Structure 1
Amino acid sequence: MNSEFTVAVHSLALLAYLPDHMASSERIARNVATNPTRIRKIMSTLRKHGFVKTKEGIGGGYILNCVPNEVTLAQIYRALSGGTLKPHWCSGNPEEDCLVSANIQAVMDHFFFEAEQHYEAYLEQNTLQTVLDRIRKCQQQQNPLQV
């Protein structure tokens, strides 16, 4: 699995958290702790799927274009990382004269396919709002005297 999904969820949660629901790629990159080019690439995909809009020019940036309690983590995952649970490389050689080597790739593909289905079903039960609620809960646990 790649980290695009985590960066996308982080970016969307940040936009939802900000009062004006807008931020530049530089601001998002600082918050995520990555570079602005990577953010722009991910945000471009999020824009294509309707999660964000862009505002051009000075003072522009990315604007949240979705309702946090209506967007499931599965939707975000499919837009950015669907199918990445399976590694790019698998051991074995289908042409090898060995039962294990000749069949391990197909067997492992099946496990990754099923795991991805279960993972997406779990993500379907959680929304961007779930992420925001858990962030607030973490903050309250770290600083119980703050309201």
Structure 2
Amino acid sequence: MGLSSRTAVAVHALTMLARWGERSLTSGEIADSLASNPVLVRRILGSLRDAGLVWSTEGRGGGWSLARAPREITLYDAYRAVEEGPILSRHPHTPSAECEVGRNIQALLEVEFLDAERAMEERLGRTTIAHLHQQVLAIERELALPR
């Protein structure tokens, strides 16, 4: 499938939910922070719900909340919830067997791409939503200091 912005949107939404803690947020509130469309946000939140990362309540006062503690949700959890298929796109069709590059490139790329994807998964698995939330707060505190 290749790269998309779904993971960034998902991480943004999860970090917002961590920031507001016990207070549920509407998809509109999250969309405002993203400068995005609430329908897109609802789709992403639906995938996060299916993965057990968020839950929602309907009706007046309803909205979205984290289903797990922010320290228990990694960026890789968010990625897995919203992305499908491999990170790096493979050949859309089989290369020519008549060419020495064509005969061999798919197997060679598969090794390289799998190693790269595992490295990304490992790196994203080290960072939690709680960590991002703390970084946001630290940056905001720094910006608020008198100069």
Q: TM-score range by the shorter chain?
A: 0.7 to 0.9
Q: Which moved more, 1:49-58 or 1:98-107?
A: 98-107
The 5 A counterparts of 1:24-103 are: 24-81=26-83, 83-87=85-89, 90=91, 93-103=94-104
Give the C-alpha shift of residue 13 in structure 1: 0.7
Give the C-alpha shift of residue 82 in structure 1: 5.7
The question of 1:115 aligning with 2:119 is answered no
Cα RMSD of the aligned pairs, angstroms, is 2.2
Match of residue 128 from structure 1: 129
- Partner AA of 2:124 in structure 1: L
Identity in percent: 32
Match of residue 6 from structure 2: 4
Give the TM-score of the pair, scaled to structure 2: 0.85
Cα distance change of structure 1 residues 124 and 48 upon mapping to structure 2, 3 Å threshold: same
Q: Which moved more, 1:13-22 or 1:65-74?
A: 13-22
Distance, in Å, in 2 between the alignment partners of 1:41 and 1:74 is 18
Give yes or no for contact 1:23–1:62 (8 Å, CA) kept in 2: yes
Q: Which runs of 5+ in 1 are unaligned?
A: none
Give yes or no for contact 1:54–1:63 (8 Å, CA) kept in 2: yes
Distance, in Å, in 2 between the alignment partners of 1:137 and 1:67 is 20
Counting matched residue pairs gives: 145
Q: Which moved more, 1:28-37 or 1:103-112?
A: 103-112
